[in-house]
C-alpha cells in the first residue's frame, strides 16, 4: 500500500483491552442486579461514551445520570489502562517503523482522553502519535465516517492518503466508505464476521508482525 498516514483504532486493535471492558460490563450491570445480554458488547461497540451511557440507561431502566455512568466506567478502567494493559503483538515495533519512514500517525478511538493517554503513555507509544481523535470529544461515533476524515485532517492529509486500522466489523465498514485503505485486525469476538471482513477490508491480519 502507498500511504502517507495511518489512523489507528485503540481498543482491540493496537491495545489488548477488550477483556477489561468485558469485566466492566459484567461488574457494573451485576452491581445493579442485571445480567449482561449477549448482544450488549456488539451493540455498543461503535458508540461514543455518551451514546453508550444513554443507551444503557434506557435499555436497563437505570437511575444513573449519563455523567455518573461515564465516570464510573472510566474509574473502573483507569487503573488497568495506566498500569496493566499491553499493546498487541508487534504493534509497538510497527508503529516505530512507521515513524522512522516519516508516516504520520493518528489515533481515532471511542475511549476517553483520560484512558487513551494513560494507555499510550504506559505502553510507551504516546510520543509516536501526531494527532488524537476521541469520539467523546468530537461527539462523532464510528458509524460516521467523518471521525476518520477529521483524524486525517488533523494530520494535514487527505483521507485517501491514509490507511485505517480497525477491529470492529461496523467500524471497518464505515472506514471503507471514506476511500481510505482499511486493515482489519482479527479479534475472536468477531469471528462470525471473519469471512465478510476478509472481503470488505483491504487486508485482514492476526498480528502486526505480518506487516512490513
Based on the domain organization, do 118 and 182 belong to the same domain?
Answer: yes
Query: CB of 136 within 8 A of CB of 48?
Result: yes
The answer to whether residue 203 scores a pLDDT higher than 80 is yes
Rounded-to-integer distance, Cα 111 and Cα 92, Å: 19
Rounded-to-integer distance, Cα 54 and Cα 51, Å: 5
Rounded-to-integer distance, Cα 73 and Cα 70, Å: 5
pLDDT number for residue 116: 96
The answer to whether residue 1 scores a pLDDT higher than 80 is no
pLDDT average, residue stretch 28-38: 92
The answer to whether residue 168 scores a pLDDT higher than 80 is yes
CATH number at residue 129: 3.40.50.1000
Based on the domain organization, do 74 and 141 belong to the same domain?
Answer: no
Based on the domain organization, do 47 and 105 belong to the same domain?
Answer: no
Based on the domain organization, do 102 and 170 belong to the same domain?
Answer: yes
pLDDT average, residue stretch 76-89: 92
The answer to whether residue 120 scores a pLDDT higher than 80 is yes
Instruction: Supply the mean pLDDT for the chain.
Output: 93
The answer to whether residue 158 scores a pLDDT higher than 90 is yes
Residue 40 phi/psi, 5-degree rounding, is -65, -55
Based on the domain organization, do 59 and 95 belong to the same domain?
Answer: no
* 209: β partners: none
The number of distinct structural domains making up the chain is 2
Last residue within a domain, chosen from 53, 83, 113: 83
pLDDT band per the 50, 70, 90 thresholds, residue 189 = confident
Query: CB of 56 within 8 A of CB of 69?
Result: yes
Based on the domain organization, do 133 and 196 belong to the same domain?
Answer: yes
Q: Which residues, 6+ apart, have CB-to-CB distance to 166 below 8 Å?
A: 9, 13, 142, 172, 175, 182, 183, 184, 185
Based on the domain organization, do 69 and 135 belong to the same domain?
Answer: no
Q: Take residue 95 and report the three cell numbers written for it.
A: 508503529
Q: What is the 3-state secondary structure (H, E, C) of the chain?
A: CCCCEEEECCECCCECCHHHHHHHHHHHHHCCCCCCCCCHHHHHCCCCHHHHHHHHHHHHCCCCCHHHHHHHHHHHHHHHHHHCCCECCCHHHHHHHHHHCCCEEEEEECCCHHHHHHHHHHCCCHHHCCEEEEHHHHCCCCCCCHHHHHHHHHCCCCHHHEEEEECCHHHHHHHHCCCCEEEEECCHHHHHHHHHHHHHCCEEECCHHHCC
Based on the domain organization, do 146 and 165 belong to the same domain?
Answer: yes
CATH number at residue 62: 1.10.150
pLDDT single digits (tens) 41-69: 888 887 888 889 999 999 999 999 999 99
Last residue within a domain, chosen from 59, 83, 107: 83
pLDDT average, residue stretch 96-105: 97
pLDDT number for residue 76: 86
Q: Which domain holds residue 33?
A: 18-83
Based on the domain organization, do 67 and 90 belong to the same domain?
Answer: no
Last residue within a domain, chosen from 56, 83, 110: 83
Amino acid at each position: 500500500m502507498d500511504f502517507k498516514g495511518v489512523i489507528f483504532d485503540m481498543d482491540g486493535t493496537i491495545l489488548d483491552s477488550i477483556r477489561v471492558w468485558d469485566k466492566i460490563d459484567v461488574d457494573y450491570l451485576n452491581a445493579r442486579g442485571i445480567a449482561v445480554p449477549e448482544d450488549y458488547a456488539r451493540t455498543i461497540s461503535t458508540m461514543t461514551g455518551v451514546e453508550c451511557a444513554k443507551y444503557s440507561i434506557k435499555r436497563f431502566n437505570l437511575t444513573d445520570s449519563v455523567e455518573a455512568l461515564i465516570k464510573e466506567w472510566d474509574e473502573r478502567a483507569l487503573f488497568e489502562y495506566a498500569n496493566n494493559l499491553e499493546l498487541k503483538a508487534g504493534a509497538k515495533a510497527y508503529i516505530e517503523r512507521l515513524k522512522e519512514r516519516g508516516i504520520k500517525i493518528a489515533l481515532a478511538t471511542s475511549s476517553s482522553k483520560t484512558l487513551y493517554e494513560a494507555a499510550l503513555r504506559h505502553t510507551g507509544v504516546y510520543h509516536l502519535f501526531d494527532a488524537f481523535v476521541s469520539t467523546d470529544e468530537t461527539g462523532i461515533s464510528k458509524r460516521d465516517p467523518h471521525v476518520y476524515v477529521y483524524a486525517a485532517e488533523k494530520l494535514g492529509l487527505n483521507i485517501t492518503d491514509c490507511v485505517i486500522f480497525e477491529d470492529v466489523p461496523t467500524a471497518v465498514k464505515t472506514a471503507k466508505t471514506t476511500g481510505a485503505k482499511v486493515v482489519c485486525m482479527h479479534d475472536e469476538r468477531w469471528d462470525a464476521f471473519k469471512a465478510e471482513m476478509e472481503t470488505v477490508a483491504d487486508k485482514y491480519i492476526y498480528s502486526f508482525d505480518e506487516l512490513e
